[in-house]
């Protein structure tokens, strides 16, 4: 590889970094603009927009709503996903490939189609649009990610660990709770964080299955449709900071856990 | 040492009772629990059925169910059924699609966009993945990769909005161009297929980058050196060695990005204009109005899904063929 | 022995798909015995162990433990504990917690658990490591923890699945002695599985040699070594001379064979083979004696030393027996004898009891 090529490649990388970061940085900056109109240049700065979030009941309730949905849907996804992973990583059985295929299906369906399918099914099941419907759709949509992460970890658990527990008097359930589950904790933590973020960031399912109360992304979308304003920047930045911080923390946390075991 | 003697004495010892036992000890000797476990694990077959029941039920009713229900609704003339009327089986919803330019234009536009955006993402991220996998020391690699991952934790709407600010008439790009003296009047980037493309590539780049990166990382360095040793130039090496061996990564990255691109709703709404209406918007339209439009919406979603599925399957077949051809 | 049998394996067979792992195994294990199952990988020894542990169910046959049929009982309901090949210590539990695991599930009180923990830990000299995690222990220590954990619930039968495989050669010899003495002191029944014949000879009261899912021979280490029943056993354990010849018949208790014109007398621990077929006999290298005159032993042939290998405490001799169409024998002698043997022909003699005519 020649020197010129190398420099060119390195430039491409940094250009990509710029592409990925600059829009977000600009968005954060715009939230400080002392004007009602979005647009450069920014001549004077204010904290007004950011402080305003804390007094905006609409934003705070949307935020809390999104967090509640994320937590509830994650609990369901992790429970079901771990169960499915244990089945799929266990002994071979007829139809296992089919079950695996169906398990990953929700992750492969394009967003709008997934949202429509859930909307129709929710009505079929008699679930009214609203929190329950959103939680349910997020839970189903996120199960595949939990299954994949947990299966990967489970495949590295030596079979003798479970056999040893059984040998010492543990029934299958106690062996699972005392040996398998502790072993899976890093994977489950990682998958949970991933699910939380997926749910918190999700727009399309929340939009089609939501009732009158908007989640944070739906609220931002609604505000955007009626025009841009630094207020939206401040709200979006708050969402950004939360997800980025949680994401980075999770990344470090899971890597530390993996190193330890 | 008299280990044996002391142990033997205990063999018949009465198990302790009450709180002196540990939690697990109490659970394991609690009669109802024991009975329950006994019942559940009486035969290996029963134990397996209990383990399998929830997963199988879940994937059938929750993963497959919505798709099947959507298919069913797409084949009916009214949903939900109004009181006093009857529901009929019909293909009309599918036929409607072909009858109106307003329907099939967005459909083909979506596929065309998804194709172009996928290609753009590939061209854009391949050098980045290549740089990370081949030119960065393993120690720094994770750090540089992690840096790229952070923005991808941020949601679809927030990132779409960021692109709006970047490309608006008073946005950063136009401002920069004006400062440089290249333009007098702002270029209207927004509400065009260009702004939509920038946004969608921005949202999907990670799904391309990661498969490419892992494919490139697996590639042994010695292969390239061997090719260089045989007198292959940089371009030849890339075309004959690196590219064929990363086809798997390219194939899965492209499939993922294509599927995701076809599914965006909010981004085209916010970044696109009237001339860039995508099929997702068409489908969504049937669900915002009266309920009797649902069957048509469902049919269109089925069309979209099948088209995406068939195209990506064909694409994967093609790529596998390509890979096998190269190996001969 | 049968009345005091702790374990009775009755006509047990096990198939995995098309492969037969165990073929109609019947065997009793007495209380307090150190039994070793010896054989190459895939011989069925591990399958037997796993059936005893409850990890596999036999395709047919019964397993009786302490007079109770346990064939279909899951592992947690058997008075059997196991030391795993990889120890299978629980990585998220300390040594103490690992040991307590089995005790807790027996419903013991906390004080009782503590008492047993201390007892077994001092017995196996683990007192100093109670609060350590498995990752903080050496290979030998882990092995002892695995043993402690399996012994703590006071099992009727202890299964050991090649527990020394992960240790280096030096430590291994030491642990072999330790294990043997632990077995003596606890007076527990040990069921030991290994592919290492030396290990088996050193430690066991009784060795069961397995091959292709069947028992080749079952006996004390001495019996197996000096009186192998089959060619497989003779070759698998130690070094031996294999003499191929023809069966002549039996005389009293002795089997008479023809070895390239030499008439030899041996015994048949595995039963007398069919007449008329080529048969093989085994004579251990150290059982050949050297004499100037024709000795009074049951068998004697004249041979010449054609090669010497110095092995330290002893010497290996390669012998050419011209009378037997140039067949060769190998012998171990002490170093002094080895030095003194010259080029001249010598008489090689061995007893009837030193030569085992093999079943196949």
Who among C110, C154, C188 is closest to B21 (CB)?
A: C110
Domains and their CATH numbers in chain A = 56-260 (1.10.3720.10)
Q: Do B151 and A21 touch (CB under 8 A)?
A: yes
Instruction: Assess B5–C contact: CB distance below 8 Å, yes or no.
Output: no
pLDDT for residue B160 is more than 50: yes
State how far the Cα of C331 lies from the Cα of C345, in Å rounded to an integer: 15
Share of chain A above pLDDT 70, in %: 98
Q: Given C53, C90, C149, which is nearest A161 (Cβ)? A: C90
Q: What is the pLDDT of residue C296?
A: 85
What's residue C42's pLDDT? 85
Residues facing residue C278 across a β-bridge: C246
Phi, psi of A213 (to 5 degrees): -85, 125
Question: Beta strand C5-16 with C355-357: parallel, antiparallel or unpaired?
Answer: unpaired
Task: Using pLDDT thresholds of 50, 70 and 90, give the confidence band for residue B228.
Answer: confident
CB contact under 8 A, A174 and B28: yes
* Mean of all residue pLDDT scores within chain B: 85
Q: How far apart are the first and last CA of chain B?
A: 71
* Distance in angstroms (rounded) separating the CA atoms of residues A9 and B228: 19
Q: What pLDDT was estimated at residue A258?
A: 67
pLDDT digits (tens, 9 = 90+) for A16-51: 999 889 999 988 888 887 777 777 777 778 888 888
Least CB–CB distance from B1: residue in C74, C104, C185: C185
Q: Does B117 touch chain A (CB under 8 A)?
A: no
Å from C106 to nearest chain B CA?
6
Of C304, C295, C301, whose CA–CA distance to C263 is shortest?
C301
The predicted structure's pLDDT at residue C1: 42
Q: Which chains touch B (3 or more CB pairs under 8 A)?
A: A, C
CB pairs under 8 A, 24+ apart, for B15-19? B15/C106, B15/C107, B15/C108, B15/C109, B16/C107, B16/C108, B16/C109, B16/C110, B16/C111, B16/C112
- Please give the Cα distance from B137 to B128 (Å, whole number): 14
* Sequence ranges of the domains in chain B: 21-74, 97-327
Q: In this predicted structure, what is the pLDDT of residue B227?
A: 75
Closest-CA residue of chain B to C186: B4
List strands edge to edge, sheet with C254-259. Answer: C262-266, C254-259, C240-251, C278-284, C355-357
User: Would you call C112 and B13 a contact, using CB atoms and an 8 Å cutoff?
Assistant: yes
At C310 the pLDDT is 87
Q: What is the pLDDT of residue A42?
A: 75
The three-state DSSP-derived secondary structure of chain A is CCHHHHHHHHHHHHHHHHHHHHHHHHHHHHCCECCCCCCCCCCCECCHHHHHHHHCHHHHHHHHHHHHHHHHHHHHHHHHHHHHHHHHHCCCCCCHHHHHHHHHHHHHCCHHHHHHHHHHHHHHHCCCCCHHHHHHHHHHHHHHHHHHHHHHHHCCCCHHHHHHHHHCCCCHHHHHHHHHHHHHHHHHHHHHHHHHHHHHHCCHHHHHHCCCCCCHHHHHHHHHHCCCCHHHHHHHHHHHHHHHHHHHHHHHHHHHHHHHC
Contact B15 C107 (CB under 8 A): yes
Q: What is the average per-residue pLDDT within A220-245?
A: 87
Give A-chain residues touching C85 at CB under 8 angstroms: 160
For chain B positions 30-59, those within 8 Å of chain C (CB to CB) are: 41
Closest CA to A84 of A164, A143, A20: A143
User: Is B218's pLDDT higher than 90?
Assistant: no
Closest partner residue to C107 (CB to CB) among B1, B8, B21 is B21
pLDDT in tens, C258-298: 888 888 999 988 888 877 778 899 999 989 888 888 888 88
pLDDT band at A98 (very low <50, low <70, confident <90, very high): very high
Residues of chain C with pLDDT under 50: 1-2
The pLDDT, as a whole number, for residue B326 is 60
Give me the phi and psi of C137, to 5 degrees please: -110, 155
* B78: helix, strand or coil: coil
**pLDDT tens per residue, range A144-192:** 999 999 999 999 999 999 999 999 999 999 999 999 999 999 899 989 9
Beta strand pairing status for C289-291 and C278-284? unpaired
Contact A40, B175 (CB under 8 A): yes
Residues of C with CB under 8 A from a CB of B: 74, 100, 104-113, 116, 119-120, 123, 151, 154, 185-188
pLDDT at B290: 56
Closest partner residue to B266 among A23, A40, A221, by Cβ? A221
Judging contacts by C-beta atoms under 8 Å, the chain C residues touching residue A167 are: 53-55, 75-76, 80-82, 150
Query: For B302, which residue in chain A has the nearest alpha carbon?
Result: A113
Nearest residue to B292 (alpha-carbon basis) of B66, B84, B82, B72: B82
Distance from C-alpha of B60 to C-alpha of B56, rounded to nearest angstrom: 6
Angle at C331 (CA atoms; ends C327, C333), nearest 5 degrees: 150
B236 CB-near residues (< 8 Å, 6+ apart): B227
pLDDT score of B12: 44
Cβ pairs A/B, distance under 8 A? 253
Tell me which fold the domain B97-327 belongs to. MetI-like fold (1.10.3720)
Contact C156, C65 (CB under 8 A): yes
Q: Tell me, what's the pLDDT at A133?
A: 95
For residue B13, what pLDDT band results from cuts at 50, 70 and 90? very low
Tell if the CB–CB gap between B4 and C187 is shorter than 8 Å. Answer: yes
Of C84, C91, C105, the CB nearest to A170: C105
d(CA B277, CA B107): 9
- Minimum-distance CB partner of C185 among B4, B10, B29: B4
Q: Which chain A residues are Cβ-neighbours of B149 within 8 angstroms?
A: 247, 251
ipTM value: 0.90
pLDDT at residue B9, rounded to an integer: 45
CB contact under 8 A, B63 and A30: no
* Cα of A178 to nearest chain B Cα, Å: 9
pLDDT of B292 over the 70 cut: no
Per-residue pLDDT for B264 more than 80?
yes
B291: tokens are: 């309920």
B318 and chain A: CB distance < 8 Å anywhere? no
CA C299 to each of CA A133, A193, C349, C352: distance values in angstroms, whole numbers, following the listed order = 93, 81, 5, 7
User: Shortest CB distance from B25 goes to which of C105, C120, C188?
Assistant: C105
**B206: closest chain A residue by CA:** A20
**What distance in Å separates residue A244's CA from the closest CA in chain B?**
6
pLDDT of residue B1: 42
Collect all residues of chain A within an 8 Å Cβ-Cβ radius of residue C55.
Answer: 163, 166-167
CA distance C224 to C312: 26
Answer for the pair A114, A141: CB distance below 8 angstroms, yes or no.
Answer: yes
Least CA distance to C102: which residue of chain B? B25
**B241 close to A (CB below 8 A):** no
- pTM equals 0.87
Give the integer Cα–Cα distance in Å for C196 and C173.
12
Taking the CA of residue B288 and the nearest CA in chain A, the distance in Å comes to 9
Optimal mutation site among A9, A19, A23, A235, interface B, most CBs of chain B within 10 A? A23
Tokens of A238: 């708050």
Looking at residue B289, its pLDDT comes to 64
Is residue A64 less than 8 Å (CB to CB) from chain C?
Answer: no
Contact (CB<8Å) B7/C108? no
Cβ within 8 Å, pair B283-A116: yes
Cα–Cα distance measured from residue B163 to residue B288, given in angstroms and rounded to the nearest whole number: 27
CA distance A141 to A130: 17
């Amino acid at each position: 590889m020649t020197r010129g090529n190398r420099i060119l490649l390195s430039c491409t990388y940094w250009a990509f970094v710029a592409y990925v970061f600059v829009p977000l940085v600009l968005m954060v900056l715009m939230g400080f603009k002392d004007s009602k109109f979005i647009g450069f240049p920014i001549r004077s700065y204010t904290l007004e927009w950011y402080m305003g979030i804390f007094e905006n009941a609409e934003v705070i309730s949307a935020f809390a709503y999104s967090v509640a949905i994320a937590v509830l849907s994650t609990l369901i996804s992790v429970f079901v996903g771990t169960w499915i992973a244990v089945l799929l990583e266990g002994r071979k059985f007829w139809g296992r490939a089919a079950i695996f295929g169906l398990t990953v299906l929700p992750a492969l369906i394009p967003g709008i189609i997934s949202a429509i399918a859930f909307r129709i099914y929710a009505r079929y099941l008699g679930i009214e649009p609203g929190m329950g419907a959103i939680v349910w759709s997020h839970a189903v949509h996120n199960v595949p990610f939990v299954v994949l992460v947990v299966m990967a970890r489970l495949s590295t658990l030596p079979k003798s660990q479970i056999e040893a527990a059984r040998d010492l008097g543990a029934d299958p359930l106690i062996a699972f709770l005392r040996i398998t589950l502790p072993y899976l904790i890093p994977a489950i933590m990682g998958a949970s964080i991933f699910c939380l973020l997926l749910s918190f960031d999700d727009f399309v399912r929340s939009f089609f299955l939501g009732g009158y109360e908007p989640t944070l992304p739906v609220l931002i979308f609604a505000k955007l449709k009626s025009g841009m304003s630094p207020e939206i920047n401040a709200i979006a930045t708050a969402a950004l900071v939360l997800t980025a911080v949680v994401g980075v923390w999770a990344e470090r946390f899971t890597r530390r856990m993996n190193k330890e075991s | 040492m008299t280990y044996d003697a002391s142990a033997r004495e205990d063999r018949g010892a009465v198990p302790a009772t009450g709180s002196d036992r540990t939690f697990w000890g109490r659970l394991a000797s609690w009669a109802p629990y024991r009975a329950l476990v006994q019942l559940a694990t009486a035969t290996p077959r029963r134990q397996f059925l209990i383990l399998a029941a929830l997963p199988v039920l879940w994937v059938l009713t929750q993963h497959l169910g919505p798709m099947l229900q959507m298919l069913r609704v797409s084949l009916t003339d009214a949903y939900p059924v109004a009181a006093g009327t009857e529901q009929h089986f019909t293909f009309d919803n599918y036929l409607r699609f072909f009858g109106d330019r307003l329907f099939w234009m967005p459909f083909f536009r979506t596929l065309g966009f998804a194709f172009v955006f996928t290609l753009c993402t590939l061209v854009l991220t391949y050098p980045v993945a290549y740089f990370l996998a081949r030119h960065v020391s393993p120690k720094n690699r994770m750090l540089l990769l992690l840096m790229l991952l952070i923005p991808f934790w941020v949601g679809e709407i927030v990132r779409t909005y960021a692109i709006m600010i970047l490309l608006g008439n008073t946005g950063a790009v136009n401002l920069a161009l004006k400062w440089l003296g290249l333009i007098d009047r702002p270029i209207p980037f927004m509400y065009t297929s260009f702004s939509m493309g920038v946004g969608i590539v921005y949202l999907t780049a990670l799904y391309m980058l990661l498969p490419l990166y892992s494919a490139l990382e697996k590639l042994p360095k010695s292969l390239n050196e061997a090719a260089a040793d045989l007198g292959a130039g940089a371009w030849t090496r890339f075309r004959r060695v690196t590219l064929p061996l990363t086809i798997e990564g390219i194939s899965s990255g492209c499939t993922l990005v294509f599927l995701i691109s076809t599914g965006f709703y909010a981004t085209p709404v916010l970044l696109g204009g009237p001339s860039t209406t995508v099929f997702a918007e068409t489908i969504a339209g049937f669900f915002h109005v009266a309920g009797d439009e649902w069957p048509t919406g469902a049919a269109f979603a089925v069309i979209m899904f099948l088209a995406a599925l068939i195209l990506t399957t064909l694409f994967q077949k093609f790529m596998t063929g390509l890979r096998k051809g190269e190996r001969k | 022995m049968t009345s005091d049998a702790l374990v009775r394996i009755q006509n047990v067979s096990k198939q995995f798909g098309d492969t037969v792992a165990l073929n109609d195994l019947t065997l009793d294990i007495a209380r307090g015995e150190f039994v070793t199952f010896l054989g190459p990988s895939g011989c069925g020894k591990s399958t037997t162990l796993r059936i005893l542990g409850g990890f596999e169910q036999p395709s047919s046959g019964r397993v009786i433990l302490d007079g109770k049929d346990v064939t279909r009982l899951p592992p947690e309901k058997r008075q059997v504990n196991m030391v795993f090949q990889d120890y299978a210590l629980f990585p998220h539990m300390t040594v103490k917690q690992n040991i307590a695991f089995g005790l807790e599930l027996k419903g013991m009180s906390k004080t009782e658990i503590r008492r047993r923990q201390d007892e077994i830990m001092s017995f196996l000299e683990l007192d100093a490591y109670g609060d350590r995690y498995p990752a903080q222990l050496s290979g030998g220590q882990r092995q002892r923890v695995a043993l402690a954990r399996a012994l703590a619930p006071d099992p009727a039968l202890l299964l050991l699945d090649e527990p020394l495989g992960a240790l280096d050669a030096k430590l291994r010899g030491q642990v072999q002695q330790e294990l043997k003495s632990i077995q003596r002191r606890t007076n527990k029944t040990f069921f030991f599985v290994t592919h290492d014949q030396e290990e088996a000879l050193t430690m066991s009261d009784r060795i069961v040699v397995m091959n292709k899912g069947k028992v080749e021979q079952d006996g004390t280490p001495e019996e197996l070594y000096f009186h192998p029943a089959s060619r497989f056993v003779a070759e698998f354990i130690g070094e031996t001379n294999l003499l191929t010849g023809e069966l002549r018949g039996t005389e009293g208790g002795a089997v008479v064979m023809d070895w390239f014109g030499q008439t030899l007398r041996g015994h048949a621990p595995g039963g007398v083979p069919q007449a008329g077929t080529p048969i093989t006999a085994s004579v251990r290298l150290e059982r050949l004696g050297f004499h100037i005159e024709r000795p009074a032993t049951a068998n004697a042939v004249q041979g010449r030393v054609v090669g010497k290998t110095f092995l330290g405490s002893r010497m290996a001799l390669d012998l050419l027996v011209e009378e037997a169409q140039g067949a060769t024998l190998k012998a171990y002698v002490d170093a002094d004898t080895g030095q003194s043997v010259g080029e001249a022909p010598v008489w090689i003699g061995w007893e009837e009891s030193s030569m085992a005519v093999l079943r196949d």
